[in-house]
Amino acid sequence: MDPAAAPCVRIVYLARLREALARPHEDWPLDAGSTSVAALAAALAARGGAWSHELAAGRAVRVAVNHVMATPATVVRAGDEVAFFPPVTGG
Amino acid sequence: MPVRVQDAAFDIGAEIDALRAGDPRIGAIATFVGTVRDANDGASVATMTLEHYPGMTERALADIVAEAKGRFDIVDALVVHRVGRLVPGDAIVLVAVTGAHRGDAFAACEFVMDYLKTRAPFWKKEATPDGERWVDARASDDAAAERWRDDGADRRQAR
């Protein structure tokens, strides 16, 4: 990561969430340097509208941090890639 | 432990030949092929479009194959999964497992599919007469993966 750039998390949205939130990805400023999956999801849900609907507590949303399945307590740091997606349906 | 994600169709015979090539330890090859049905949840399905999460998908599949090799007495395993737009009858996924004997080859093949269904980041969207819809995850898939949870070591010893 470019040290001169503001610390950010790359957020990726997949499948139904990408369509509902109308974007494939975004960069989320992380001035504090770190947060948790739960806190990040809550901050996104606070945008209201589709965000609060899709990321509401109890919705079936999975999260991966740096390509590994995460839990609400998983720590997220600047430079990480955090993906939000529905339960998987491959095979 | 090869895993691949691709748009193109795969040739099952060629894949098996490549997996077993010249290995005289192999006495059993178990395969599973998943295909697109023409109906799901009461609606006809014209096309099925699969997407995935590049980077995580390959890692998740490799982890599943590595876990299968740890749990079962097998020689190797292959996963080929297609993405993009498919039609009924098309093959979606191939799992092939080689081993000395059929028991662990069958079991490992089923294990890989059960874990793939719940852990590999793929999503299906169906085109039905009422429009497109995302396929919902099934509780039965979670249950199928769950039954492998504790008995990995026991299962291997029993065979």
pLDDT surpasses 70 at B89: yes
Q: How far is B18 from chain A (nearest CA, A)?
A: 22
Residue A16 touches chain B, beta carbons under 8 Å: yes
In a domain, A91, yes or no: no
> Residue B131: pLDDT above 80?
yes
| Residue-wise burial string across B11-23, b where 16 or more C-beta atoms lie within 10 A, e elsewhere | eeeebbeebbeee
Residue A40 lies in a domain: yes
Q: Does B81 touch chain A (CB under 8 A)?
A: yes
Lowest mean pLDDT among B45-54, B125-134, B149-158: B149-158
Mean pLDDT of A1-18: 85
Residue A18 maps to a domain: yes
Residues with Cβ within 8 Å of B159's Cβ and at least 6 positions away in sequence, in order, are: B72, B73, B101, B103, B104, B107
Question: pLDDT band at residue A57, thresholds of 50, 70 and 90?
Answer: confident
Structural domain includes residue A16: yes
Query: In Å, how far is B36's CA from the nearest CA of chain A?
Result: 10
Is A3 a domain residue?
A: no
Question: A45 lies in a domain?
Answer: yes
- CB B1, CB B65: distance < 8 Å: yes
Q: % helix / strand / coil in chain B, to the nearest 5?
A: 35, 35, 30
Structural domain contains residue A61: yes
Task: Determine the residue of chain A that is closest to B125 in CA distance.
Answer: A15
Number of domains in chain A: 1
Q: A45 lies in which domain range? A: 8-85
Give me the pLDDT at residue A3, please: 54
Q: A20 in contact with B at a CB cutoff of 8 Å?
A: no
Q: Give the pLDDT of residue B157.
A: 44
Distance CA B96, CA A32 (A): 47
pLDDT score of B80: 98
The whole-number average pLDDT for the span A74-85 is: 98
Structural domain contains residue A37: yes
- The CATH number of whichever domain residue A14 belongs to comes to 3.10.20.30
Task: Write down the pLDDT at residue B1.
Answer: 56
Contact call for B116 and A60, based on CB within 8 A: no
